[in-house]
């Protein structure tokens, strides 16, 4: 084992890391978890969950957090990057109407330090609890040579359950549907390669307090991605939603287009919601066009819902009870141009 350690892989450190995270991982389990850490595969029973589901279908999603990790490394803040990881996957399966079941994570590291792993995994378990996912398994791979000392990468995989006859999606969207935007916490987890270029070219200090943000630039950029299950699921259960778009890579323009059928268009009033200061600053610092901002960033909206007119009052009543701010940002109309059209008023 000493020779393997000399090669850069410390098996004892890996075992210690597992011991440190066992308790916090187990805190995410629900009653359907059969086995968690330790086996070759984790077991999760779904028999009770499909008893009243005549067309059960599993919905899966996998993602990472991109180069947001590099900013976390730069400011030595790893407590919330795991929340981002879970949110990127959980919000995707939620957008198709899935009830969350379980989550798996992958961590590749240049040098495995048990305490650092514990910090990162604590963020993942935090995210899993917010998303109502059981963290039933994962992988830690120490790979010297592939990652530099101190570097790591994260990937996640979420699975949820839905009824095939009640899936959300563009197949349900109709002319007249109202578009409701749910507020984001900030940049979330996309567009960070552009963000980092803007920081570099403008010689910006991540530890500098920015008056418009009322906090340091680093803190604003590392705000964790919002998880929308508690806000959106009540609307799904009441049949208030035709479709949902998780606004990630591709921004509002590309992601909203994914739920708009041929022949229809999402007509968006960009003055109808609060565009967060961080986006205005990035636009100014980077000399980024409005069109490109819309195609890269969420612009203050982390998820957009298509609501049928006859369910709008019910949807708003439920949204008023949630913790998220929301905005009526437009409607679905006949297409005269692009799938997503922006206007200002």
Q: What is the pLDDT along the chain (345 residues), one digit of tens a residue?
A: 588 787 788 788 888 888 889 999 999 999 999 987 777 889 999 998 999 899 999 999 999 999 999 999 999 999 999 999 999 999 999 999 999 999 999 999 998 888 999 999 999 999 999 999 999 999 999 898 888 888 999 999 999 999 999 999 999 999 999 999 999 999 999 999 999 999 999 999 999 999 999 999 999 999 999 999 999 999 999 999 999 999 999 999 999 999 999 999 999 999 999 999 999 999 999 999 999 999 999 999 999 999 999 999 999 999 999 999 999 999 999 998 899 999 865
Q: What is the CA radius of gyration of the chain?
A: 21
* Residues 71 and 206: beta-carbon distance below 8 Å: yes
Amino acid 293: pLDDT: 97
Tokens encoding 89: 């996957």
Give, for 260, the enclosing helix (H) or strand (E). Answer: none
Distance CA 237, CA 233 (A): 6
Amino acid 288: pLDDT: 97
The Cβ of residue 215 has, within 10 Å, a number of other Cβ atoms equal to: 12
Amino acid 1: pLDDT: 52
Residue 115 exposed, middle or buried by CB count within 10 Å (0-12, 13-18, 19+): exposed
Distance CA 253, CA 124 (A): 29
Amino acid 158: pLDDT: 98
Amino acid 40: pLDDT: 87
Which residue, among 191, 279, 178, has the nearest Cα to 235 in the 3D structure?
178
pTM of the predicted model, to two decimals? 0.95
Instruction: Provide the CA 40 distance to its chain's centre, in angstroms.
Output: 28
* Residues 168 and 95: beta-carbon distance below 8 Å: yes
């Amino acid at each position: 084992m000493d020779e393997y350690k000399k090669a850069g892989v410390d098996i004892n450190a890996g075992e210690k890391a597992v011991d440190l995270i066992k308790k916090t991982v187990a805190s995410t389990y629900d009653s359907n978890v059969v086995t968690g850490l330790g086996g070759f595969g984790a077991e999760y029973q779904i028999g009770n969950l499909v008893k009243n589901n005549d067309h059960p279908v599993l919905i899966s999603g996998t993602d990472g957090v991109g180069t947001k990790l590099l900013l976390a490394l730069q400011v030595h803040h790893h407590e919330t990057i795991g929340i981002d990881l879970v949110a990127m996957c959980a919000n995707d399966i939620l957008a198709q109407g899935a009830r969350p079941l379980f989550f798996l994570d992958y961590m590749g590291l240049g040098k495995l330090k048990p305490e650092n792993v514990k910090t990162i995994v604590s963020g993942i378990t935090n995210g899993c609890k917010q998303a109502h996912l059981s963290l039933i398994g994962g992988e830690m791979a120490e790979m010297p040579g592939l990652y530099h000392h101190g570097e790591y990468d994260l990937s996640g995989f979420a699975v949820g359950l839905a009824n095939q006859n009640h899936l959300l999606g563009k197949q349900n969207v109709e002319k007249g549907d109202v578009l409701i935007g749910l507020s984001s916490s900030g940049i979330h987890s996309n567009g960070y390669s552009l963000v980092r270029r803007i920081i570099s070219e403008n010689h910006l200090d991540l530890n500098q307090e920015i008056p418009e943000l009322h906090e340091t630039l680093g803190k604003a950029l590392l705000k964790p991605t919002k998880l929308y299950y508690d806000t959106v699921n009540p609307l799904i259960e009441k049949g208030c939603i035709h479709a949902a778009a998780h606004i990630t890579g591709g921004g509002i323009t590309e992601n909203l287009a994914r739920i708009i059928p041929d022949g229809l268009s999402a007509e968006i009033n960009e003055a109808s919601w609060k565009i967060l200061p961080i986006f205005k600053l990035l636009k100014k610092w980077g000399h980024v066009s409005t069109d490109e901002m819309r195609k890269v960033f969420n612009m203050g909206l982390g998820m957009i819902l298509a609501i049928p007119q006859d369910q709008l009052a019910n949807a708003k009543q439920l949204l008023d009870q949630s913790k998220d701010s929301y905005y009526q940002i437009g409607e679905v109309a006949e297409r005269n141009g692009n799938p997503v059209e922006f206007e200002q008023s």
